[in-house]
Amino acid sequence: MRVLVTGASGFVGVNLVEALLARGHEVVAMSLDAYPGPGRMTEIRGDTTDTALVERVMREHRIEAVWHGAAITAGAEREKREASRIVEVNLLATVRALEAAARAGVRRFLYPSSSAVYGNTAFESAGPVSEDAPLRPMNLYGITKVAAEAAVLRLAPALGLEACAGRINAVFGPWERDTGLRDTLSPHLRLAGFAKQGKEAILARGAERDWVYAPDVADAFVAMLEAKAVPPVAMNISMDRLWPLEIMARALPGLKWRYAGEGEEANLGYGGPIDRPRRALPPALIKERLGWSPAHTPESACADFARRLSR
């Protein structure tokens, strides 16, 4: 299958390109900056807000499926400075890419959404958060993801495309780095930085998350691409259980770490509030519909990531 991957230089994008190439697919990797990973693919530098370019790429390369991952993962400061740009990239460019895909004869359009769509819902009440839970995003990034996934799932069938969205939970893993478009790096990568600097990490108690490993996320989208048919729904992509960051801390040789004492704060971000327990976002729907479940446990994912970081 010929697949266009936008946002291909982002770390989830790189993992997806690697997984697609390993499965024998032809990949066109499009991004603002150079693709950093290995493999033989067609690389195109460009901005996905340039709809004419996006459509030309789809037509010239006879694209059959699109994974539209180009996005700005904005923190609070960037929201103040670049609100219009964030909406343009995350929402408007997504709708325009979908329309371009329909005109170019693309068959399937996959949208990588985010657990940020749940917002406060993931930190209130108890029990797992299913895909039909209320969407209450806490920031502009989450707001644009809610709107974009809803637009894709609404418009794609009307335009003659198959579409599906995957709500990626807090993700970490290979190829993560500061690209200038992702303001919040995973605490796992930050722990690795602490280890290199000889800096002590102070972890928060009771801040377990169902972090998911990037290669598993890539495999989930490969399952969507290769399925005979995909349901026009949004599905959670996450680990099956909540787990503590201590597992990553223990996997990094030489890292000095401890839990915060009473009245003391953690010295790295967790990607959300840590004063309230996080509810799990089980991948029940994607397991039921497509047979996907993460190949890694928290322990094996952290061990693998630590090995890769040490190379």
In a domain, 121, yes or no: yes
270 lies in some domain: no
Contacts with 52 (C-beta within 8 Å, 6 or more apart), sequence order: none
Residue 181 or residue 305, greater confidence: 305
For 217, the enclosing helix (H) or strand (E) is: helix 214-226
Q: What is the mean pLDDT of residues 278-290?
A: 96
- Name which of 115, 277, 235 is nearest 184 in CA terms: 115
Q: Amino acid letter at 150?
A: A
Query: What is the token pair recorded at 225?
Result: 């691409």
Within a domain: 306: no
Residue 115 lies in a domain: yes
Q: Is residue 8 part of a domain?
A: yes
Q: With a cut of 70, say whether residue 178 has pLDDT above it.
A: yes
Of residues 75 and 289, more confidence is placed in 289
Interhelix angle 76-87/140-159, nearest 10 degrees: 20
Would you call 111 a catalytic residue per the annotation? Answer: no
* pLDDT at position 181: 66
Residue 307 has pLDDT above 80, yes or no: yes
Query: Residue 130's pLDDT is what?
Result: 95
Residue 262 has pLDDT above 70, yes or no: yes
Residue written as tokens 């890539």?
218
| Reported pTM | 0.96
Residue 151 inside a domain? The answer is yes
Q: In a 3-state reduction of DSSP, which class is residue 181?
A: coil
What residues have CB less than 8 Å from 155, skipping those under 6 apart?
Answer: 95, 98, 99
152 phi and psi angles, rounded to 5 deg: -60, -50
DSSP state of 258: E
Domain with 223 in it: what CATH number? Answer: 3.40.50.720
Active-site option among 35, 118, 141, 270: 141
End-to-end Cα, the chain, rounded Å:
32
Lowest mean pLDDT among 10-24, 60-74, 259-273: 259-273
Q: Is residue 165 part of a domain?
A: yes
Cα distance between residue 42 and residue 84, in whole Å: 31
In a domain, 94, yes or no: yes
What pLDDT does 294 receive? 97
Q: How many domains does the chain have?
A: 1
The answer to whether the CB of 20 falls within 8 A of the CB of 63 is no
pLDDT band for 308, please (50, 70, 90 cuts). Answer: very high
- Closest listed residue to residue 69, CA positions, set 149, 8, 25: 8
Residue 226 to residue 228: CA distance in whole angstroms = 6
CA pair distance 268, 188, nearest whole angstrom: 10
The residue range of the domain holding 19 is: 2-175+212-239+281-296
| Summary mean pLDDT of the chain | 95
pLDDT above 80: residue 208: yes
